[in-house]
């Protein structure tokens, strides 16, 4: 069961990377560890850097990917983004804005559906 879930998660992340690429973003990191915290995808487009949380659900799931982000996850995303900024980004003059987005990916026999929310987490 864990292998299937892991495979589905990787496929969802790849789908979101493809989604971002079509929109002109360059993915610079995947599954970026910052101590105990992790960022699923980091992508850049001009002066904008986005931190993307990918949530995957099967079509039969009770809750949606977006509704699965609880307060603790939001706090961890903010902490990870702040840590990324303080450790790596603050010296990069070309980065003017950092945004936290959420991509909810639903997979079923008909394919993949991505619901992408820009600026979903603010802090």
Count: domains in the chain? 1
Mean pLDDT for 59-66 is 56
**Measured in Å, how far apart are the chain's first and last C-alpha atoms?**
35
User: 67: domain CATH number?
Assistant: 3.40.1350.10
Residue range(s) defining the domain that contains residue 94 = 2-121
Which residue, 58, 59, 23, is CA-closest to 41? 23
pLDDT confidence band for 62 (50 / 70 / 90): low
Distance CA 61, CA 104 (A): 12
Write out pLDDT tens, residues 78-91: 999 999 988 876 77
pTM comes to 0.87
């Amino acid at each position: 069961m864990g292998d299937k879930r892991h495979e589905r998660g990787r496929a969802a992340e790849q789908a979101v990377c493809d989604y971002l690429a079509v929109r002109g973003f360059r993915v610079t990191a995947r599954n970026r560890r910052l101590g105990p915290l992790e960022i699923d995808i980091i992508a850049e487009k001009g002066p904008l850097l986005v931190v993307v949380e990918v949530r995957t659900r099967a079509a039969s799931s009770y809750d949606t990917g977006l509704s699965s982000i609880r307060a603790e996850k939001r706090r961890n995303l903010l902490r990870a983004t702040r840590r990324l900024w303080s450790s790596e980004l603050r010296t990069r003059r070309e980065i003017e804005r950092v945004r936290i987005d959420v991509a909810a990916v639903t997979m079923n026999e008909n394919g993949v559906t991505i619901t992408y929310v820009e600026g979903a987490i603010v802090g």
